[in-house]
Chains A and B, each alone.
Chain A
Amino acid sequence: MATVTPDLQRAGGGGSNVLRLGKPFRYSVLTLVGAFFIIPILASARFSFLGNNNSFTFSAYTQLFGTPQFWSTLWLSVKVGVGTVALTLALLIPTVIFVHVRLPRLRRLFESVSLLPLVIPSVVVTLGVITSFRNLPNIIYGTPVILALEYVVLALPYSYRTFDSAVQSIDLKTLVDAGQSLGAGWIKLLRFAILPNLRSGLLGASILTFAFCLGEFAVASLLSFTTFPVFLVQVGRLEASQAVALSLIALIFTWIPLALVMIVFSQRRGGRRGAGVEAAIESAVAE
């Protein structure tokens, strides 16, 4: 033990055993894990560009882009995804903040409840949600709105935990007390003093929820909505190389916004942020 990478031990503060095993070990683990994810993707990519007689071709892609259903199902999934994210945030922000400020002892309970969709079969959740909303007007029932409602519940285990731990990382109660004693009502308090400090949590919850919506098949298919993943499966039954191309596209569609959002948010720290707050508060006061 004593002979292994003293610099790492210093840097890692004595860290875990894995750290002490040194750089070569860490790199090989990283490489293995990376390979586990990347090799299938590369293999799929290669397969999707394979034409007759092993020639290189874009035909899987050109055919897909030429299919109207490709665009309509993608559009449907994006709409449902955006709607689900909006509904999720509208539900999460007040709930989690209320629990932290007023019912701190019930935090664990709420967290456990949010995990229920993981243990209850999704068909049961689906029917539960449908039953709950049966008496609502047709605008919801029988339109993709019902799908968004389903997804809010099904993605809750991911969204709730993400946002909850972000709230946990700031001293919410004190910030709320301070803001109120300075004369701020809940709206201004949330908008200028609380939510800006929960940006990463909001972002994480949104991304996870959106990604969930773009990948969910079972419930959409059960409710007979041809979303993007449903379309993907349908295509896969007929044309293997198109299905593979499609899943790569889906992957890219999830990754691009994710990467963009990450870049944007990591650059917002410090710098012009102050001016942003100033302008935002100014406009709110003017309202």
Chain B
Amino acid sequence: MSETKEAAIDLGRGGVEVELRGLSRYFKETTALKSLSMRAQPGELVVLLGPSGCGKTTALRMLAGLDAPDEGNILIGGKDVTSLPAAKRNIGMVFQSYSLFPNMTTRENVEFGLRVRGQKAKERSERSKEMLSLVGLTSMADRFPHQLSGGQQQRVALARALAIKPQLLLLDEPLSALDAKVRAQLREEIRRIQLELGITTFFVTHDQEEALALADRIAVMHQGRLEQLDTPLAVYSSPATEFVAEFVGTVNRLRGVVVDTGTVDVEMVGKVAYRSGPALSPGTRVQVLIRPESLGVTPASQEGSEVLSRSFLGASTKLSVRNPSGDAIVVEVSVAEAAGVADSAAVQLFARGEALLVRPALP
């Protein structure tokens, strides 16, 4: 697993630093988390990304104080809060399922955290107005949760979480119950608000597109462990592990042979450059992981690979190509390049980018 890289620059956004030190959590049959360590810079938005069951919610609940780690510590703003109960942490949390109190209006929900703190009615109502205008729901102040759409409910939940001026914001798949359009829109809005307030934020999702779009850095998790913590670009273009390469984006697995350090000869593609992976001696048979957009196609005269099908994506076209061994290879190319090859026609594949990873082939 890769070293936890620190963001090189101070984001200059205010907010507190948050550190997880060797967090583990064991349930009867499962290890939900295994020595999870990472650090979020002040004001940073870290996305915890991973498949269902990899421990994202568990990690978030520990940050919130709703669950306690079996091992490890949590530091918020340099202070060890591991044994501090949730109610004393001053952390805002938005949940995956709708969590508004059904007996309270939007306004009352937003003010709830302030009421339990004993704030005066006037301050509370000022704050709730401010928060509701931040999430664009001023006109819904007197509605009950059952009178709001799913997206509106999650906005209110966000306003409620932010009303207490939390030092840390936690979002556990807040968009997963919403339809695609609302999801994309609310995602942008969450990012805008987060930047505006400069609040350190952990955002949990299993959707890689969401993670790439939102994050300052992505923490890719797998079976309770951290696989990689890096910027979206780095996670996508230099995945630390095969798991990361597979989970973030699409990859092709192709057969090849090492030519020298930094070059492999890939079957039916030709020479491809690579950077990461173990040192391998020339002649080693390898498996090469390469992204669809790192491949290209040209029409070929003799028999070889052939185009099986295509799907038009708007700005590009995705081709499904079969090589002579029968493997399906996904290629994403410009619309013009795709127009140059016909369906069922013979094509030659070539590399236009680097391979992600190279590893010795299984015997």
Contacts and interface: CB of A to CB of B under 8 A. Distances in A.
B335 interface: no
| B interface SS class | loop
Interface centre among A171, A178, A188, A274 (most CB of B within 10 A): A178
Given A175-B99, A177-B95, A177-B99, A277 B108 contact: yes
A281 B120 CA distance: 12
A180 B87 CA distance: 5
B99 A197 contact: no
A274 B145 CA distance: 12
A39 interface: no
Interface string B93-110: 101011111111100100
A285 B118 contact: yes
B91 A193 contact: no
A interface, size bucket: 20 to 34
| A interface SS class | helix
A196 interface: yes
B103 A171 contact: no
A174 interface: yes
Interface in B56-89: 61, 64-66, 85-89
B122 to A, nearest CB: 13
B285 interface: no
Contact of A184 (B102, B116, B142, B161): B116
A273 interface: yes
Nearest to A274: B105
A182 interface: yes
B102 A188 contact: no
8 contacts: A175-B101, A178-B93, A178-B99, A181-B86, A182-B164, A270-B144, A274-B142, A277-B104
Given A171-B99, A174-B99, A193-B112, 10 more contacts: A174-B97, A174-B98, A175-B99, A177-B64, A177-B86, A178-B95, A178-B99, A192-B101, A197-B103, A277-B103
Interface of A: 170-171, 174-175, 177-185, 188, 192-193, 196-197, 270, 273-274, 277-278, 281-282, 285
